[in-house]
Amino acid sequence: MPRKSKTAQPGSGQSGAVNRGNAEHYRWGNDCDAWYLVNDEQLSVIEEFMPPGAAEIRHHHDKAQQFFYILTGEVLMEIEGVTTLLGAGSGIRVMPGQRHQIRNPSSGPARFLVISHPRSHGDRFNESPKP
């Protein structure tokens, strides 16, 4: 008989089930949502929701590498001037120092995972907007 999973305390390092209902939530950009599924110094896993037309600010991380995995919808990921269309079931790796920006130009929302090692928050450097 399967065991009922216990609820994890997000960021606690303890095992157990974690989901959007019990994870730490924050908002960013224009109506984008994010949930920390794992949040410690060496690893973060964030589920993000991006409505149509939303985009993050182009930026880079000095230390963190990231992997973006699309769960639903599609996004455009620009890395160092190269733009890639990513649909559900596909992902892309961003290495430390690479300037990047994710955006959702489609007519529907996108949901994706961002996996960072080490964690990227506190290691983000936004690009200045072009005049």
pLDDT digits (tens, 9 = 90+) for 25-81: 999 988 999 999 999 999 999 999 999 999 999 999 999 999 999 999 999 999 999
Burial letters 3-17, b for 16+ CB under 10 A, else e: eeeeebebeeeeeee
How many structural domains are present in the chain?
1
Please give the residue range of the domain that contains residue 102: 24-126
pTM of the model: 0.86
Q: How confident is the model at residue 131 (pLDDT cuts 50, 70, 90)?
A: low
Is 63 a member of any domain? yes
Does residue 15 lie within any of the structural domains?
no
CA distance 83 to 74: 13
51 inside domain = yes
pLDDT score for 3:
40
Side chain identity at 74, as an amino acid letter?
A: E
Quick one: 102 exposed, middle or buried, by C-beta within 10 A (0-12, 13-18, 19+)?
buried
